[in-house]
């Protein structure tokens, strides 16, 4: 049997390679930090490059205080729990971390997951039934898309960050118009008005670094009597005045019913996710959410160290401030050089090649040349981003020094001129 599968898979793999979409992993031989040792291509001797493509927004991935806490917690709590939460996998630190996150967001309760992918995967099905509707931004993260697939509520998609489009689908869901999305037999769709409605959006969209219009979304939700769920993975800890994400940045803290997020980005970057919000929602998730019930507990060392990360970030604004200063400096310098930057304030800084016919090739050539200059960034092109919008996505960290950012800017200038981009 496998002969045939092998043939089919090889055919498909060749197609991926021919399309230039084959993903290669680059080997890092050091800890995750602004300057890393990378071996690439495969087998090449490792060299030091400046890392501008990680989600290590606050530099906590290698923070000495957190590493110390991690060592101590390993000694006290051991390496693993070998159980799901409700059998024998809950330690005091797991409960404490849940409390800490609720405090941080001023929410009623919190439930931990092994990842935000799991948090989203296990969110919708326990909360929404076939008579409900879920309304989702067209560019939402894959884990939201998958989570929604697993629930039986009717799904409505609105154009990315388009409030007219959102209002249209809200009306349709409320009026019960048969807006079947093509999944399953259309006639079996229940044309009655939706019972409960949930609007679901990323807080920050990872490819453009743009912020969801949460103030407008919350206002529409009030008008049409809907719940709001925000996945704030690209914002938790560093965005908003106290690091409470896009929800805080948009001034709607306390008005969003459910927030999901990750500890795998700014919060130390190990792993772990959570859902925080209304008490009954969290209680129901503890009863029914499948990634919580049927997947192992978050490692104790991650729970304990994440606690310390939240403490560190409530205790001081320094890292956030440094990150915002670094971001503003990089954005301004790149614009002055003439690069086509998507305007914004987020440390995701997309450098586009919109004015060039060969934008896809440029994104790859630029990334390769920058790597040669010691700057590690990744170029994205269709179908990861829309046609004509190929880009290099730069991610700034609080751990970058001004000298390191200056090096990146100088390399962009040199390589940009060589490739006739500026």
Under the rule (CB under 6 A), what is the footprint of ligand PLP? 115-117, 141, 143, 202, 206, 231, 233-234, 262, 264, 273
Which of 265, 322, 346, 400 is catalytic? The answer is 265
Q: Are 261 and 247 in contact (CB under 8 A)?
A: no
Shortest Cβ 212–ligand PLP spacing (Å):
10
Instruction: Give catalytic status of residue 346 as yes or no.
Output: no
Q: Which of residues 111 and 421 has its CB atom nearest to ligand PLP in the complex?
A: 111
Q: How far apart are alpha carbons 196 and 180 in whole angstroms?
A: 17
Q: Which of residues 121 and 416 has its CB atom nearest to ligand PLP in the complex?
A: 121
Shortest Cβ 115–ligand PLP spacing (Å):
3
Shortest Cβ 310–ligand PLP spacing (Å):
16
**DSSP code per residue over 268-306:** -SS--EEEEE-HHHHHHHHHH-HHHHSSPPPPHHHHHHH
Q: How far apart are alpha carbons 349 and 343 in whole angstroms?
A: 8
Shortest Cβ 275–ligand PLP spacing (Å):
12
Q: Are 363 and 391 in contact (CB under 8 A)?
A: yes
Instruction: Give catalytic status of residue 234 as yes or no.
Output: yes
Shortest Cβ 171–ligand PLP spacing (Å):
27
Nearest Cα residue to 380 out of 398, 366, 369, 370: 366
Q: Are 96 and 307 in contact (CB under 8 A)?
A: yes
Q: Which of residues 299 and 360 has its CB atom nearest to ligand PLP in the complex?
A: 299
Q: How far apart are alpha carbons 213 and 228 in whole angstroms?
A: 12
Q: Which of residues 58 and 362 has its CB atom nearest to ligand PLP in the complex?
A: 58
Q: Which residues pair with 394 in a beta bridge?
A: 349
Per-residue burial over 31-70, b if 16 or more Cβ lie within 10 Å, else e, is ebbbebebebeeeeeeeebbbbebbbbbbbbbbeebbebb
Q: Which of residues 155 and 234 has its CB atom nearest to ligand PLP in the complex?
A: 234
Q: Which of residues 262 and 404 has its CB atom nearest to ligand PLP in the complex?
A: 262
Which of 33, 100, 141, 234 is catalytic? The answer is 234
Give start and end residues of each alpha helix (H) in 176-273.
214-223, 245-249
Give start and end residues of each alpha helix (H) in 150-200.
163-175
The encoded tokens of residue 174 equal 């409320």
Q: Which of residues 116 and 252 has its CB atom nearest to ligand PLP in the complex?
A: 116
For helices 163-175 and 214-223, angle between their N-to-C axes, nearest 10 degrees:
20
Nearest Cα residue to 105 out of 283, 270, 230: 230
Shortest Cβ 181–ligand PLP spacing (Å):
21
Shortest Cβ 121–ligand PLP spacing (Å):
9
Q: How far apart are alpha carbons 120 and 147 in whole angstroms?
A: 5
Query: Which secondary structure element, helix H or strand E, spans residue 129, and what is its range?
Result: none
Which of 161, 206, 233, 271 is catalytic? The answer is 206
Instruction: Give catalytic status of residue 206 as yes or no.
Output: yes
Q: Which of residues 158 and 339 has its CB atom nearest to ligand PLP in the complex?
A: 158
Shortest Cβ 265–ligand PLP spacing (Å):
6
* Residue 329: partners with Cβ closer than 8 Å, 6 or more residues away: 402, 405
Catalytic residues: 206, 234, 265
């Amino acid at each position: 049997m496998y002969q045939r599968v092998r043939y089919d898979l090889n055919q498909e793999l060749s197609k991926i390679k021919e399309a230039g979409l084959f993903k290669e992993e680059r080997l890092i031989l050091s800890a995750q930090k602004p300057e890393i040792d990378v071996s690439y291509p495969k087998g090449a001797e490792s060299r030091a490059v400046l890392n501008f493509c990680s989600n290590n927004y606050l530099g906590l991935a290698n923070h000495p205080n957190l590493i110390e806490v991690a060592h101590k917690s390993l000694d006290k709590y051991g390496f693993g729990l070998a159980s799901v939460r409700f059998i024998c996998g809950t330690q005091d630190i797991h409960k404490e971390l849940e409390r800490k996150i609720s405090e941080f967001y001023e929410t009623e309760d919190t439930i931990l997951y092994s990842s935000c992918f799991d948090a989203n995967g296990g969110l919708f099905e326990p909360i929404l039934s076939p008579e409900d509707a879920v309304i989702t931004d067209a560019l939402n993260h894959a884990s939201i898309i998958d989570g929604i697939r697993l629930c039986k509520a009717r799904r409505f998609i609105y154009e990315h960050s388009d409030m007219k489009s959102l209002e249209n689908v809200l009306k349709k869901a409320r009026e019960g118009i048969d807006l079947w999305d093509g999944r399953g037999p259309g006639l079996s769709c229940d044309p009655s008005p939706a019972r409960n409605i949930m609007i679901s959006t990323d807080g920050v969209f990872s490819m453009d670094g743009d912020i969801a219009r949460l103030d407008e979304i919350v206002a529409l939700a009030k008008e049409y009597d809907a719940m709001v769920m925000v996945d704030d993975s690209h914002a938790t800890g560093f965005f908003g005045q106290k690091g409470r994400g896009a929800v805080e940045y948009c001034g709607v803290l306390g008005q969003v019913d459910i927030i999901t997020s990750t500890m795998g980005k700014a919060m130390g970057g190990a792993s772990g996710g959570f859902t925080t919000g209304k008490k009954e929602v969290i209680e129901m998730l503890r009863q029914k959410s499948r990634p919580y019930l049927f997947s192992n507990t978050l490692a104790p060392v991650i729970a304990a160290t994440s606690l310390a990360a939240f403490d560190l970030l409530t205790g001081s604004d320094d890292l956030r401030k440094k990150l915002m200063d670094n971001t503003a400096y990089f954005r301004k310098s790149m614009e002055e050089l003439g690069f086509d930057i998507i305007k914004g304030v987020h440390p995701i800084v997309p450098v586009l090649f919109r004015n060039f016919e060969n934008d896809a090739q440029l994104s790859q050539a630029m990334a390769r040349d920058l790597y040669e200059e010691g700057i590690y960034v990744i170029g994205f092109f269709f179908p990861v981003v829309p046609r004509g919008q190929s880009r290099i996505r730069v991610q700034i960290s609080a751990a970058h020094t001004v000298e390191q950012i200056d090096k990146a800017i100088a390399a962009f200038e040199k390589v940009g001129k060589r490739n006739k981009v500026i």
